[in-house]
Structure 1
Amino acid sequence: MMDDNPLPLPPSPPPDIAQVTLAELWASLRAGISDFQTAPLFGLAFSLFYVLAGVVLWWIGAGTFLWTLAFALGFPLVAPFAAVGLYEVSRRIEAGEPLAWSDVLGVIWNERTRQLPWVGVILALIFLFWSFFAHMTFAMFFGPSALMNMESEWALFLTPTGMAMLAVQVVVGAGVAFLTFGLTAVSLPLLVDKEFDFVTAMLVSLDTVARNKIVMGVWAVIVAFCLFVAMLPAFLGLFIALPVLGHATWHIYRRALYHPV
């Protein structure tokens, strides 16, 4: 049931960070596949949100500054709530609890009064920074007037100046992407599972990634590769990739953090 006024819970004690092995990473990925096979309708339903957003972005051409701002503000604020459903489904499968739509949706609904919305705000700020940086570097390399003809001047990117600009954006973009990954790698399932403030959860996530650099680096590459490949066939591959990766994230979280009883 959806509780409009959930009672506040006491803060959870700080977790202990474990050393995650590559074998555990593969086990988490297999567990994600198993969870999706166990409850496919949940995964497909929650993925529909991302697929529709991707199709809309492609259809309207989100490369323009106005649309980039609009979606940068809106999408990250709502997107984490779809992931909550996947984490809750994995938690219930792991605990042997029944899977009922009313219960899972109730958990998502209750997150609006907890710390997860603040993570959406942080993600929105990061996306806004990236949008501003991308447009700023384009203007710096080609001049402000080129921003008005981006759709008709794609050949500019193949020039030496264009290649130099792309190199700068790739380097900065990779840093922004990995920072975002570090901030959210385990913080989202942690906020769903336990009572933490969002700042502490993100710091725990960064510490977890720092202590498991190789394994979490491999995981980041897997996530990026799977999402890139899944977007190629008109975003339809996201119906499989997103739920599997979401469920697997829950299992990585469970292996990476030990919680005192």
Structure 2
Amino acid sequence: MEHPVPDSEGGAPVAAPPRPQVRDLAFAAPLRWLARGARDLRAHPWIAAFYGVAFWMMAVTLALVFQHSPEYTMTIVSGCLLVGPFLAMGLYEVSRKRERGEPPSLPDSLTCWDRHLGSMGLLVLVLTVLELLWGRASLVVFAVFFNTGMPSTASVLQAVFNPRNWEFLAVYTVVGSIFAVLVFCSTVVSIPMILDRDTDAVTAAITSFGVVLQNTATMLLWGALVVGLTLLALWPWALGILIVGPWLGHASWHAYREAVGWDA
């Protein structure tokens, strides 16, 4: 419920804004989010197709970077993790409007972010710093283990599948996992939360971390499903991203709606 606070000028009490409340989630909740996301996708396939093409172009860019400059692959991956959630904001808007019984449209989904410039700008800044640190850490790992120069695509594949390079694989995996977890925890519900309530970026990020900490097993399942479906969608030629990308975007909105309540 709303809590009245005294007016700064001694007038009548003013109702405080509602505060986010992290809810307990069932372990199988991510399956429900995927089912609801699939319904949103089927309801507006042409909007989903637009965003699917955008996600597919990101996947193609990643593949080209890996082929020609593999040492920058993790930098591009982190960039995709930065751009992807904001691109998905348009899909959140479609699901939000559909939930309210309002007709969604592609132009509205493309401009939904402009009403939240302040909060989104600060969150972009934080994620950009994480992305730059991730990319730099990735280059440092390559430089340490490939001291004769940055590897070609062939030598990267040889390193990945060579058991003698387990130290490189272990360090590279640990470094990447740390930054991936930070990005996941800070964005899992923060962006749809900003879209829904115009919450400030700090509150949204803290709430997002709270959702993960309070429902760790459920959110681990959700993260595994996101990663697993994305990897499956990359074969062949990343064509599955055309469907899986918008599907996960819609499902992420329902993840937020079920994970975060409001006290008013």
Shift of 1:23: 4.0
Question: In the alignment, what sits opposite 1:37?
Answer: 42
The answer as to 2:175 corresponding to 1:172 is yes
The one-letter amino acid paired with 1:246 is: G
When structure 1 is superposed on structure 2, of 223-232 and 12-21 the one drifting more is 12-21
Matches of 2:16 and 2:229 in 1, distance apart?
35
Question: In the alignment, what sits opposite 1:6?
Answer: none
**Contact 1:17–1:258 (8 Å) recurs in 2:** yes
Give SS of 2:263's match: coil
**Contact 2:41–2:246 (8 Å) recurs in 1:** yes
The one-letter amino acid paired with 2:101 is: G
Matches of 1:123 and 1:62 in 2, distance apart?
26
Question: TM-score scaled by structure 1?
Answer: 0.84
Matches of 1:173 and 1:73 in 2, distance apart?
9
Give SS of 1:16's match: strand
Q: 1:116 to 1:19 in 2, by over 3 A?
A: same
When structure 1 is superposed on structure 2, of 74-83 and 225-234 the one drifting more is 74-83
Shift of 1:64: 4.9
Q: 1:81 to 1:142 in 2, by over 3 A?
A: closer
Q: 1:141 aligns with which of 108, 126, 145?
A: 145
Shift of 1:151: 3.1
The one-letter amino acid paired with 2:90 is: G
Question: In the alignment, what sits opposite 2:127?
Answer: 123
Matches of 1:233 and 1:226 in 2, distance apart?
13
When structure 1 is superposed on structure 2, of 122-131 and 59-68 the one drifting more is 59-68
> Alignment RMSD, CA only?
2.5
The one-letter amino acid paired with 2:32 is: A
Gaps spanning 5+ residues in structure 2: where?
Answer: 1-14
Q: 1:63 to 1:129 in 2, by over 3 A?
A: farther
Counting matched residue pairs gives: 248
Consecutive aligned runs of 4 or more in structure 1 exceeding 3 Å deviation = 60-69, 71-81, 108-111, 156-161
User: What do residues 182-211 of structure 1 show as CA deviations (whole Å, max 9, x unaligned)?
Assistant: 111100100111122212211110011100
Question: TM-score scaled by structure 2?
Answer: 0.83
**Residue correspondence of structure 1 range 85-96 to structure 2 within 5 A:** 85-96=90-101
Matches of 1:247 and 1:75 in 2, distance apart?
18
**Contact 1:76–1:123 (8 Å) recurs in 2:** no
The answer as to 2:19 corresponding to 1:17 is no
User: What do residues 105-136 of structure 1 show as CA deviations (whole Å, max 9, x unaligned)?
Assistant: 3324444x232233233222222222221221
Gaps spanning 5+ residues in structure 1: where?
Answer: 1-9
